[in-house]
Amino acid sequence: MGWSPKIRLFVDPFISALYPIPKIAILPLFMLVLGIGELSKVAVVGVGAFFLVLINSMAGVRNIDRIYFEVAQNYGARKFKVFTKVVLLGSLPMIFAGMRLALGMSLLLVVAIEFIAATYGLGAMMWLAWETLRTENLYIGVVICALLGLLFTSLLEKVEKYFMPWEETPLHK
């Protein structure tokens, strides 16, 4: 979508219509189609993460300076080479930003789904704590969410450093 204006023109209205739908609101629909099991829950989390990565990736490609495309063309690079060396590498910072947002959204959706449709898990534990006024368990749940967020972010930073060794930021030192 970021590279091809024709594809963006065709697909963007669908993305614009589907992205704002609260992902937790589509859980019942997914449960009807995919069943009551884990698949419907995973699908909702996947959809919630997908849009954040997609929109950031598209923005990353659109922000690549045109001069890089011209240089690749002047050196006779074919479309695949342009995609792998210019589009993909040039948009990696925004792709990883989208992945970082998606990780946070995924954690939020998992906990929210467990509030609604689970008997075990962190969200179910927090919901039970709320129902029984066990605030210490609520605090434990919040701390665990924060620790999971910290763990996921640090793992993603290691992956980011592997794929973008040229990026020097305070997070990578």
Q: Once rounded to an integer, what is the mean pLDDT over residues 99-127?
A: 92
Q: Please check the confidence at residue 40 and state whether its pLDDT lies above 80.
A: yes
Confidence band of 119 (pLDDT split at 50, 70, 90)? confident
Which residue, 104, 106, 109, 16, is CA-closest to 58? 16
pLDDT score recorded for residue 166 = 82
Lowest average pLDDT, out of 51-60, 91-100, 160-169, goes to 160-169
pLDDT tens profile 50-90:
999 999 999 999 999 999 999 999 999 899 999 999 999 99
% of residues, the chain, pLDDT over 90: 80
Contact 91, 57 (CB under 8 A): yes
User: Where would I find the H helices in 20-134?
Assistant: 27-34, 38-62, 66-74, 79-82, 89-117, 122-131
φ, ψ of residue 56 to 5 degrees: the values are -70, -40
pTM tops 0.85, yes or no: no
Residues 147, 152, 157, 162: is their CA dihedral positive or negative? positive
In the block, tokens 């997609």 appear at 54
Tell whether domain 5-172 is in CATH 2.60.40.10: no
Whose CA is closest to 95, among 48, 57, 52?
Answer: 57
Contact 11, 1 (CB under 8 A): yes
pLDDT for position 170: 55
Summarised one tens digit per residue, pLDDT across range 12-27 is 999 999 999 999 999 9
Q: What is the reported pLDDT for 36?
A: 87
The tokens for 49 are 């993460």
